[in-house]
Chain A
């Protein structure tokens, strides 16, 4: 039982972690709470599904399609809304993300229909069994994909020139632009990256739950917000840790308390935790 819930927690945690990263990089560079994260996740899932149904039934191609769709949506968001809103009170951008979430959810509902779509299962065979708990290849792939994306992002941000630019913009926008960093392009790229990560997470979720629907991002977006806050919002390792911890805590909450309190246990622990450590698990004190 313990192992079972741990496995569940880690699988769910991987998806939370990816979404939390998407949330975190946007927050890190623009100090913007992106409530459209869930929509990018949902759109990623839909494009992954389109790939599987109309091109090739391959999980990895679907992941690519989801990432590409998320990348484009992230770009559109930034280019047509947030660029115009830069430097303006943050509440305006926040409302804009809510508007986008509503727009995309309803758009997909009109285009693809409101009913759930079935996503075929991939790699559903058992990989190994520990203490009676079977772990499927899909679960392993899920964790591996999440880990790969997270490592690549970490490398990108801390080992490349582009990453340096992103960090500079996130620390001080004005100074960065004075130093000759093309801030517009950097911010645009950050948004697109966030979209791609959310898109990947969406495809993974659709494959794991075998279903996708236009409103699937609402709950996921909220959870990713929790996970990102848990980790401290601005740090990638923090978001990963936050995602996995949230996944594990929730699953054990069902086991030991009641399924009805699953969601608020996550929230309550977080609120108490924040009161003790307001900057999150691995966040910077200054923010």
Chain B
């Protein structure tokens, strides 16, 4: 008897579990414009994914308040990638299977973006990643666009500041060991050596590392008079705390991903004097930025960072492209997207290269008295 019950329970469980899956594909025909967002909402990268969701939702509520796109309201579906390429690809398949989805924003990291790419490519759907910077990403498909700006543009900018403005001649590099970190370190090295500087030693660390003392000791021994860190702000804060503790007081410079109000909150006095390039910063007097920062803070009780601003830009750019295309036809949106010229994003203006990468402008910030200020 018990076995029969168990069997029935198991069978029922399977059906209950499978039922909604098959029902969920039903398309709702309505008059909205359906946008999909893929981001790591849970898992190690959820901090970034949740900021994506917040920014895109904010952008959509603003768009809808202004009458939507093409006079139609905008509807958002959010999917969780967990930062896992396989999950991301499944999600891509889900979006492309839904005939109402017009275009997709996301995901956060390059790996998942690259795994999603073949699916968007064969289905013909615009994939607009706010942050994917893999050198093969945007060029991999005519449907893929990235707005973060490649390191080919950012590397020389940072190297120029490090060499000419700050006056570093021998620099040590510490980078995170992912595609972005490697690119950042390589382009910086090339540009810095091109200016006549010398890279004393390059070391890297893996995602999830929390102890940098050993590697910093090694870098210090290399005789550098400056340190370039290609990492996100949370690792950046940890690196600086431990550098400070070692008593290694050299100028530190980093790329845009270092920029976040969180860097100061986490790093405290150890990040004082740090240089970081950015396309976006919260005290920016630009009215669009001010308005975004204020509404973001009012709605979520936190300050946005560079990645969040990029997600906002992505949504606004997509809306703009659909308006310009004049329809929700994928091919029309794609052409309109490719033709984007000087779109005024919060994190710098956006013009796409033929491959689909954006060329961005940067500003150099320095942390002084616990605040980011523009460095001139």
Interface residues of chain A, those whose CB is within 8 Å of chain B, are: 1, 4-5, 8, 12, 106, 109, 113-116, 118, 121, 124, 134, 136, 205, 209-211, 213, 215-216, 218-219, 250-251, 254-255, 258-260, 262-263
Contact of B214 among A5, A113, A115, A134 (CB under 8 A): A5
In the complex, what's the smallest C-beta–C-beta distance from A128 to chain B, in angstroms? 14
Interface residues of chain B, those whose CB is within 8 Å of chain A, are: 42-44, 46-47, 49-50, 177, 203-206, 208-211, 213-215, 217-218, 221, 234, 237-238, 241-242, 245-247, 262, 265-266, 268, 302
**Cα distance, A190 to B174, chains bound together (Å):** 42
Q: Are B203 and A116 in contact (CB under 8 A)?
A: no
Shortest Cβ distance from A129 into B: residue: B247
Q: Are B218 and A259 in contact (CB under 8 A)?
A: yes
Q: Are A259 and B214 in contact (CB under 8 A)?
A: yes
With a cutoff of 8 Å between Cβ atoms, the chain A residues found around residue B246 in the complex are 4
**Cα distance, A260 to B221, chains bound together (Å):** 18
Contact of B210 among A114, A121, A209 (CB under 8 A): A209
Q: Are B213 and A8 in contact (CB under 8 A)?
A: yes
Q: A1-B217, A262-B214 are in contact. List 8 more A-B contacts (CB 8 A).
A: A114-B49, A134-B247, A209-B241, A211-B234, A211-B238, A216-B210, A259-B218, A260-B204
With a cutoff of 8 Å between Cβ atoms, the chain B residues found around residue A258 in the complex are 203
Please report whether the interface of chain A is mostly helix, strand, loop or mixed according to DSSP. helix
**Cα distance, A118 to B213, chains bound together (Å):** 18
Contact of B209 among A1, A215, A219 (CB under 8 A): A219
Q: Contacts A8-B217, A209-B238, A255-B214; is A219 near B262 (CB within 8 Å)?
A: no
Q: Contacts A213-B234, A255-B214; is A109 near B46 (CB within 8 Å)?
A: yes
With a cutoff of 8 Å between Cβ atoms, the chain A residues found around residue B209 in the complex are 219
Contact of B221 among A1, A8, A263 (CB under 8 A): A1
In the complex, what's the smallest C-beta–C-beta distance from A246 to chain B, in angstroms? 12
Q: Are A115 and B204 in contact (CB under 8 A)?
A: no
Q: Are B266 and A255 in contact (CB under 8 A)?
A: no
Q: Are B245 and A124 in contact (CB under 8 A)?
A: yes
In the complex, what's the smallest C-beta–C-beta distance from A133 to chain B, in angstroms? 9
Q: Are B213 and A116 in contact (CB under 8 A)?
A: no
Q: Are A260 and B177 in contact (CB under 8 A)?
A: yes
Q: Are A219 and B210 in contact (CB under 8 A)?
A: yes
In the complex, what's the smallest C-beta–C-beta distance from A268 to chain B, in angstroms? 16
